[in-house]
Amino acid sequence: MKRIQYHRYGGPETMQLEDFALRAPGKGEVAVKVAFAAINPIDWKVRNGHLKMVTGKTFPRAFGSDFSGTVIAVGPGVTRFKAGDAVFGSARIKDSGAIGEAVIAPETFIAKKPAVVSFEEAACLGTPGVTAWNGLVDKVEVKAGDHVFINGCTGAVGESAVQIARLFGASVSGATSTEQMQRAEQMGVHPVLDYRTTNLSKIKERFDAVYDTAGTMTVATGLGLLRKDGVFLDLNPSLGKFIRALFNRQLKPIVCTARADILDGLAEAAGEGRFRLPIAEVVPLTEAIPQVIALERGRKISGKAVVAMQ
């Protein structure tokens, strides 16, 4: 089989489409024949070595995190899945490998794909959906009546956050680019602010939660927009922010952490038509590297970029 992998940490030039042999799934693991994979910024951050304290020094390393496909084998102790199940989810950061013809993932990092959701759509849901859930449900416990502000509300995590907040009954305001304001309004964001022309620190409204999914808001601005018991969710964590969060319970740095209950919740919402992410482009595996390079260098598209394995 083939997948994108690299033999050292570094830039786009390290990526190659190569043959590999899929290992057998271990305890609690599932082997999946990949149908589609979605490209995420975390993929090149891992390749660049930003998380090498977690990913280690063993090479070659596989590339990609989010996928959909069909289970081909399960490891010892797996009870939630069997061969033939249609699934979606994410690979472990330490292993990666979603942008390839097959991948190994923990049982707890995948969910059954709803029949009404296509494989293309399902491949997009994992990392953005889990990250949004980690913040709004795990950290904030968002509920009906809450008012949430989402900075970057039309990015993948931003759109996920909008839908999850509304799923739990909250009202949503947000900021995005001029070009995406109409889309945000269609999702139920009100009011929608243009981040280029609005000084977010001057907003008079106060919120139960502020989620900076764009990673551009200062901690001071985020905290300043909160109600008394509000929470600022920061998607651009650093050691300094984690230390600061120990002394300020209103600051919550977010690190994407998948769990079975989250993936099952996303699958249920997607099956009901209440959670989805738009797909901008689909390319074959043979064209995945140029697509990754373009996105890494800042190319903007209105939706997710997806890789088809066949």
Supply the pLDDT for residue 195. 92
List the CATH code of the domain at 128-253. Answer: 3.40.50.720
Tokens of 59: 């090479």
User: What is the value of pTM for the model shown?
Assistant: 0.94
Distance CA 243, CA 143 (A): 28
Which residues of the chain are modeled with pLDDT < 70?
A: none
User: What distances in angstroms separate CA 64 from CA 33, 99, 243, 299, 302, one per listed residue?
Assistant: 14, 5, 30, 18, 20
Supply the pLDDT for residue 290. 98
Beta strands 66-74 and 29-38, pairing class: antiparallel
Q: By C-alpha distance, which of 33, 24, 21 is closest to 76?
A: 24
Supply the pLDDT for residue 137. 98
Q: How many Cα neighbours within 13 Å face the side chain of 219?
A: 14
Break the chain into its structural domains and give their ranges.
2-125+277-308, 128-253
Local structure of 16: helix, strand or coil: strand
Q: What b/e sequence results for 274-284 when a residue is b if at least 16 CB atoms lie within 10 Å of its CB, and e otherwise?
A: ebbbebebebe
List the CATH code of the domain at 2-125+277-308. Answer: 3.90.180.10
Distance CA 93, CA 51 (A): 9
Supply the pLDDT for residue 53. 87
Supply the pLDDT for residue 236. 86
Local structure of 11: helix, strand or coil: coil
Supply the pLDDT for residue 238. 84
User: What distances in angstroms separate CA 45 from CA 55, 64, 166, one per listed residue?
Assistant: 11, 10, 30
Beta strands 61-62 and 66-74, pairing class: unpaired
What DSSP state is assigned to residue 9? S
Supply the pLDDT for residue 239. 86
Kindly report, residue by residue over 162-216, the tens digit of the pLDDT: 999 999 999 999 999 999 999 999 999 999 999 999 999 999 999 999 999 999 9
